[in-house]
């Protein structure tokens, strides 16, 4: 089963993502503390990561860079899921190593399409 790690400091968001992703047949793991995101990823070994940007230190940009510095996450797709919907945030996120970007609020079908595309990569 495909495993997805959800990193967002808002538990309501990870609960919603959990419901949507489990309905699509994915195994999910949530982390609501960005400082624990990299260690959790190392333990969980996800097939894909959904990552918020607006979190306490480290922010999502830094978490993305930290993951990309580790050989085991070089090819793991990272999709940014954030309320930041400006071109600068998008540019920095892609520069940090993100594969895709989805602005909140989003339609569940759009999330499903992005996950499918990233996994088929």
What is the pTM (predicted TM-score) of this model? 0.97
Which pLDDT belongs to residue 96?
A: 98
Which pLDDT belongs to residue 121?
A: 78
Residues contacting residue 18 through CB under 8 Å, at least 6 positions apart? 6, 28, 30
* Residue that has been written with the tokens 């759009």 in this structure: 110
**Distance from C-alpha of 31 to C-alpha of 45, rounded to nearest angstrom:** 13
Which pLDDT belongs to residue 8?
A: 97
* Residue that has been written with the tokens 């999709």 in this structure: 79
Domains along the chain with CATH numbers: 3-120 (3.40.50.2300)
Mean pLDDT, consecutive 10-residue stretches, the chain (121 aa), reads 97 96 97 96 98 96 98 97 96 98 96 97 78
Strand partners, 3: 27
Residues contacting residue 101 through CB under 8 Å, at least 6 positions apart? 79, 80, 82, 90, 93, 94
Which pLDDT belongs to residue 4?
A: 98
Which pLDDT belongs to residue 97?
A: 98
Which pLDDT belongs to residue 38?
A: 97
Which pLDDT belongs to residue 73?
A: 98
């Amino acid at each position: 089963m495909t495993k997805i790690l959800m990193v967002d400091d808002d538990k309501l968001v990870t609960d919603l993502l959990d419901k949507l992703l489990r309905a699509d047949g994915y195994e999910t793991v949530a982390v609501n503390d960005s400082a624990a995101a990299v260690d959790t990823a190392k333990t969980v070994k996800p097939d894909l990561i959904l990552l918020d940007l607006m979190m306490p230190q480290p922010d999502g940009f830094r978490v993305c860079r930290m993951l990309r510095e580790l050989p085991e996450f070089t090819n793991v797709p990272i999709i940014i899921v954030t309320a930041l919907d400006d071109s600068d945030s998008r540019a920095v996120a892609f520069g940090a190593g993100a594969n895709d970007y989805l602005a909140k609020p989003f339609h569940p079908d759009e999330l499903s399409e992005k996950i499918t595309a990233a996994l088929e990569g």
